[in-house]
Amino acid sequence: MNGCNRPMVTVTVPMYNNARFIGETIRSILSQTYEDFELLIYDDNSTDESFEIAASYADPRIRLQQNERNLGPEANWNRAVSEVSGRYVKLVCGDDILYPSCLEKQVAAFRDPMNEGVSLVSAQRAIIDSHGKTLISKVNFLDEGRKGPVEVVRKMVRMGTNIIGEPVSGMFPSEAIPRTRGYSARVPYTTDLDFWLQLLQLGDLYVIDEPLCAFRISDASWSSRIGEMRQQQFLAFMEQAASDVRHEVTDLDLFIGRINCAVQSMTSMMGFKLFAGSSSEKRTLAGMFQLDMGERARALLP
């Protein structure tokens, strides 16, 4: 699409064996209050009915493609952002959902003249289970407003977790894509965060302090399959971020971050192991998870 036919936003969905959830994901995108978007769906040669379910949605904004062979998450995510037409891009995994005003509010943040030079807009997110039940209504580590890269990276290191959010949380300018290295699964757990930090080398972060989307934890999610490696991989990523002098990470930042990373890893694993438990277990989990992800981590900050 070119000229006046170019959409403002490209929502791109890389999926693999998401038959249980892809219908809900697509419906959440098509139900947006902001309608000037295209929806690209890239099926990574699924072995279930994901492709057929996606193909059942008749909407002129949808373009559906299927890889001839399974490429894996890294290559499929990069393919998903390789043919975008929109001015802004939002990558949504095939089991997550957008709340109705998500695109509208993220585009508005980019279009605000005060936010010139922002390269990433992130919204807070909820955590849902495999049945769509809300486990945590809002996960937030950053307040509303514009944040510089140094502030974001140092706080990320200190808190020992992804304070920006999963892919579903973010929106970024399409013109920034060729200025990055793309998505890298060299450290699988931090594929999304690595990309966020690449974008933050090009501009600032703007945070919308409102849950505009939901990240799903389930036995089918990529995060659950690599969850047991979480602490080791995030520590490696923290060290990598700290080695870049532009981030101004101190030894104290790393010391506090290692403690918080252990706490975050423990609670993350509890979440992935108990997501299918009873309602009472989920309520208990949610309370513990919220405490650990919020107050306990922040308590270690000066």
Confidence of residue 124 (pLDDT cuts 50, 70, 90): very high
219 domain-assigned:
yes
pLDDT at 265: 73
CA atoms within 13 A on the CB side of 229: 12
Residue of 136 and 33 predicted with greater confidence: 33
300 domain-assigned:
no
Biggest CA–CA distance in the chain, Å, is 54
pLDDT at 50: 98
* Cβ proximity of 263 and 165 under 8 Å: no
Report the chain's terminal Cα–Cα distance, integer Å: 50
Quickly tell me which residue has 């990598």 as its tokens.
240
- The total domain count for the chain is 1
Q: What is the domain-level CATH number for residue 162?
A: 3.90.550.10
* Cβ proximity of 136 and 149 under 8 Å: no
289 domain-assigned:
yes
How far, in Å, CA of 74 to CA of 112, rounded? 32
Handedness of CA 236, 241, 244, 250 (dihedral sign): negative
93 domain-assigned:
yes
Q: Over the chain, what is the mean pLDDT?
A: 87
- Residue 101 lies in domain: 3-295
* Cβ proximity of 53 and 5 under 8 Å: no
pLDDT digit string, tens, across residues 162-186 = 999 999 999 999 999 999 999 998 8
How far, in Å, CA of 194 to CA of 185, rounded? 9
Among 58-62, 210-214, 220-224, 269-273, the least confident range? 220-224
Quickly tell me which residue has 């695109």 as its tokens.
103
275 domain-assigned:
yes
67 domain-assigned:
yes
pLDDT at 299: 36
Among 66-70, 215-219, 280-284, the least confident range? 280-284
302 domain-assigned:
no
How far, in Å, CA of 15 to CA of 22, rounded? 8
Residues in Cβ contact with 162 at an 8 Å cutoff, skipping those fewer than 6 apart: 156, 190, 192, 193, 196
278 domain-assigned:
yes
